[in-house]
Amino acid sequence: MKNQRKIIVALLAAVALGAGPALAYKGGDCGPMGYGMPDGPKAERMKERMQKRLEARQEQLHKELKLSAAQEPAWRAYTEKSGPPLDWKFPDREAMDKLTAPERMEKMLEMSRQHQARMTERLEAMKAFYAQLTPEQKKVFDAHHAAGPGGGGRP
């Protein structure tokens, strides 16, 4: 009984000590809405890293697909629509801070609509490209995308 009490007290103390820093965290460099989005130079570096990763994945997929010359235009159209637009920017932190809660929610909803519109464009480009592939190439493409947009690691 005494050992159980000691264990419970130790666990509660550990939780209290561990939760302290987490509760005191004010968001620091999390970006305009606290969703882990950096701003300023960090955002630019992140966009560059994301773009390089996207290009590397596209290059790898291109090699694996072994596209014919007739398939290349569809590939270019597909890759042009893949990934974020080149002029994409994180929301302005200061501008978002000045908005009321409903205005911020409206802004987030508008950003979501824009994101959906871009996804729809990418889907159409993907369908057009996919229609150009042979059954074997479709298997390669499907396997490549089964891991998700970030590459993942799913078996």
The 10s digit of each residue's pLDDT in 65-76 is: 999 999 999 999
* Whether pTM exceeds 0.95: no
- Look at residue 132 in the predicted model and tell me its pLDDT: 92
Tokens 């990763």 belong to which residue?
53
For range 100-115, the mean pLDDT: 90
Q: For the chain, what's the residue count?
A: 155
Concatenated DSSP letters of 39-97: -THHHHHHHHHHHHHHHHHHHHHHHHHT--GGGHHHHHHHHHHSSS-TT--PPPHHHHH
Angle formed at CA 114 by CA 49 and CA 103, multiple of 5 degrees: 105
- Structure-model confidence comparison of residues 95 and 40, the more confident one: 95
* % of the chain at pLDDT higher than 90: 32
Tell me the average pLDDT of the chain.
77
- Look at residue 30 in the predicted model and tell me its pLDDT: 46
All domains of the chain in start order, with CATH: 38-146 (1.20.120)
